[in-house]
Amino acid sequence: VVVVGDPDRSSVSATVEAGSLEVREGTGGLKALTDADRAEIKRTLGDKALLHTAEHPTITFRSTRVTGTPQSFEITGDLTIKGRTHPATVHGKGNGDGLLRGWATVTQSTWGIKPYTAFLGALRLADEVQMEFEVARLEPADAPP
């Protein structure tokens, strides 16, 4: 529910298919991230059950507080990954055309995820990763009475 001009009365609920997550870029490390590496990481997230997608096919977020404006906002809430729920903060920005971009930093081990590693550690994901999203159009739910 988005209440324009009154973020305290707004709420956000999101569900993501766990198998749809992809690594888009990597920085640092001993080896540059290639398209083949990205494909292998995506396969490993599901096939080797790092996210246990068969048991936990979705990742959910439910807000507990929304602050800011549509142009610059912060949403705190409960993030559930692999059946474990912990607090998370999402930061975001919007443009005048309704496009929203946001990000949250997630420490994988908090949710019981062992960070991906390959080539004897030459290629690995950090425990702390930034998740990003882009929403082209929001459809507000009916506001509660």
The torsion defined by the Cα of 25, 88, 136 and 36, in degrees rounded to 10, comes to 20
The 10s digit of each residue's pLDDT in 88-105 is: 999 999 887 778 889 999
**Which of the pair, 2 or 131, is modelled with greater confidence?**
131
The DSSP element (H or E) to which 44 belongs, if any, is: helix 35-47
pLDDT over 80 (residue 108):
yes
Q: Which CATH superfamily is domain 7-135 in?
A: Lipid/polyisoprenoid-binding, YceI-like (2.40.128.110)
97 token code pair: 């055309």
Residue 145 has pLDDT above 50, yes or no: no
In this prediction, residue 59 carries a pLDDT of 93
- Residue-level pLDDT at 141: 55
- Asked if residues 144 and 52 have their Cβ atoms less than 8 Å apart, the reply is no
Q: How confident is the model at residue 122 (pLDDT cuts 50, 70, 90)?
A: low
Are residues 11 and 63 in contact, defined by beta-carbon separation less than 8 angstroms? yes
Other residues' Cβ atoms within 10 Å of the Cβ of residue 60: 15
